Structure 1
Amino acid sequence: MVPPSDRDEQAAGRRSPDADGFAAHGPAELDLELRADMVSASIARDELSAWLDAHAWPPAHTIELVLVISEAVSNSIEHGYGVGPEIYDHPGVVRVRARIVAGGPGFRHVDLVVSDDGRWREPAARMQPGHGLYIIRSVAADLSIDGRPAGTTLSIRSQPSPVR
């Protein structure tokens, strides 16, 4: 888990609209570094949900993005680093970055980037595929995957959400 930062100590209160006109209680970007362990997907879900709530994100869209981040972080841990329930102390790190971007008049979207330094492996035809990437693709407006031997980066754009 990432140690507390000065961002955690900021006083709660309504901020004025940022440069894109989005009124928010929290930081403009979410930036997490998570350990490659089975708890990190839960931490990512909680942090993203709180961040989206602070930006008055619609609840239905929040649920979708929380599902997306859970799948992306879990895939990094399980497939990139090969971590399972029996592994407790893996040195790997999963990075999560999120920012809200204007998406046209009256709309906005979230750009999410989830990256790891694990080992990229093409899915084998004989493997029983999971549903993680299928879920992400079905919820996201756009998904790109950059898989390399030294790690994987998922770049995800959410469906547009109305500015509230």
Structure 2
Amino acid sequence: MDAELYAFEPRSGRGAGVLSGSVAPYSFGEIFPAHDLAPALARRRLHAWLDAVHWPTDSRDDVVLAASEAVSNAAEHAYSPGRERDITVHAALVVGPSNIERVIVSVADSGRWREPLVEHHAQRRGLQIMRAVTDELRLEMTSVGTRIKMISRPVRQPR
């Protein structure tokens, strides 16, 4: 996951290097069924992981919100009704120069974009929300599905 973006270093006091060798618990990965409960499940599990890696509370909500919006978009738009499919969520804690940390989140599906069956005024703001709460967002639409990669705002952690 975007390893070329950062020069990785071990995080002091936490054992293994981030994204080198054994990455657990510095990475997160789950597959969620693409249905209405997927965003809530993803929020709960990602929040617990961020808590476990001691991600700052004030930045945690932004990462969880962005991932939740991406999962919601995939659940709603990627698959035709009645088709049992999955949404994959990966996240990794990365450490760059000057002890700057970020979380990189990837949300992927294997479907194709579908317009919503019913248009709601509050809909169609997911990408705007994701962009507003992350430092970087990339949307990749291919013949095998869609992937959204998001990079959190930088956080400086004490060593």
**TM-score normalised by the chain length of structure 1:** 0.75
Structure 1 counterpart of 2:156, from 150, 153, 162: 162
Query: Cα offset for 1:80?
Result: 1.1
**What is the match of residue 53 of structure 1?**
51
1:43-122 alignment runs, 5 A limit: 43-82=41-80, 90-120=83-113
> Contact 2:79 / 2:114 at 8 angstroms: preserved in 1?
no
Distance (Å, rounded) in 1 between the aligned partners of 2:127 and 2:66: 9
**What is the match of residue 137 of structure 2?**
143
Paired-residue identity, %: 34
**Cα deviation digits, residues 19-58 of structure 1 (max 9, x gap):** 14xxxxx622101001011111111001110000011111
**What is the match of residue 23 of structure 1?**
none
Considering Cα pairs closer than 8 Å and 6+ residues apart, tell me whether 1 or 2 has the greater RCO. 2
Query: Cα offset for 1:18?
Result: 2.8
**What is the match of residue 37 of structure 2?**
39
* SS of residue matched to 1:108: strand
> Contact 1:120 / 1:148 at 8 angstroms: preserved in 2?
no
Amino acid at match of 2:106: V
Distance (Å, rounded) in 2 between the aligned partners of 1:152 and 1:71: 14
> Contact 2:77 / 2:115 at 8 angstroms: preserved in 1?
no
Query: Cα offset for 1:63?
Result: 0.6
Consecutive unaligned residues in structure 1, runs of 5 or more: 1-14, 21-25, 84-88
Consecutive unaligned residues in structure 2, runs of 5 or more: 1-12, 19-23
Distance (Å, rounded) in 2 between the aligned partners of 1:121 and 1:158: 28
Distance (Å, rounded) in 2 between the aligned partners of 1:142 and 1:110: 11
**Cα deviation digits, residues 91-140 of structure 1 (max 9, x gap):** 110000000111321210011110001113699xxx97611000101111
Deviates more, 1:97-106 or 1:68-77: 97-106
